Amino acid sequence: MAQIEVLTEDSRWLDAGLPGLAEKGCLAALAEMQLDGPYEISLMGCDDARVAELNAEFRGKPTPTNVLSWPSEERAAQVPGMIPQLPGDAPHEMELGDIAIAFETCAREAEQGGITFDDHVTHLLVHATLHLLGFDHLNEPDAALMEGLETRILAKLGISDPYMT
């Protein structure tokens, strides 16, 4: 079973139950991809200021965002719209990568979207976990694949399709 190491830089994440939400969202994404090995994910629950620093450092965008992810390896598919090269069971493939999630942005987006905070955070953790596995949304075929997976995973968790308008 996968292990999710949760570091909370912002105590509001403890009150929000981030470890439980991480287990729910991250493990659901891994299960959907039939990955049941002892994979590892590091998750940092922080505030907008910290995520803005990370976003500036790694993406050149000095603004907060809801979630960031750093895969441990490049796993992207060679052909748009195809499943990426999923990790195997070699020891060096067990660490999937890191995720950082911003409290204020998540809370604001949930309120603006009329959805519960828990459902929104779960969706973002599914989304970020898929990024760790090599999925992306930089082009239409990849976006369609990733959004379809997210919708299917969330439906299994009883969460509405976040892409319905």
- pLDDT tens digit sequence for 38-48: 999 999 999 99
Query: Residue 123 is part of a domain; what is its CATH number?
Result: 3.40.390.30
Alpha-carbon span 102 to 68, nearest angstrom: 9
Q: Is residue 85 part of a domain?
A: no
Question: How many structural domains are present in the chain?
Answer: 1
- pLDDT tens digit sequence for 65-109: 999 999 999 999 999 999 999 998 888 889 999 999 999 999 999
Q: Are 146 and 126 in contact (CB under 8 A)?
A: no
How many CB atoms are located within 10 Å of the residue 68 CB?
A: 20
Alpha-carbon span 74 to 62, nearest angstrom: 24
User: What is the domain extent for residue 152?
Assistant: 3-75+91-156
The closest alpha carbon to 2, from 10, 83, 50, 25, belongs to 25
120 known ligand binder: no
Q: Is residue 46 part of a domain?
A: yes
92 known ligand binder: no
Q: Is residue 80 part of a domain?
A: no
Bridge-based pairing state of the strands 40-46 and 95-102: parallel
pLDDT given for residue 86 in this prediction? 94
Computed over every residue of the chain, the mean pLDDT equals 96
Q: Is residue 81 part of a domain?
A: no
Q: Is residue 10 part of a domain?
A: yes
pLDDT given for residue 165 in this prediction? 58
Q: Is residue 165 part of a domain?
A: no
The closest alpha carbon to 31, from 153, 118, 132, belongs to 153
Q: Is residue 162 part of a domain?
A: no
Three-state DSSP state, 163:
coil
The closest alpha carbon to 72, from 83, 61, 59, 86, belongs to 86
Instruction: Kindly list the distances between the CA atom of residue 67 and the CA atoms of 36, 79, 123, in Å, as whole numbers in the listed order.
Output: 24, 25, 10
Q: Is residue 83 part of a domain?
A: no
137 known ligand binder: yes
Instruction: Kindly list the distances between the CA atom of residue 24 and the CA atoms of 5, 40, 53, 86, 147, in Å, as whole numbers in the listed order.
Output: 14, 15, 27, 20, 18
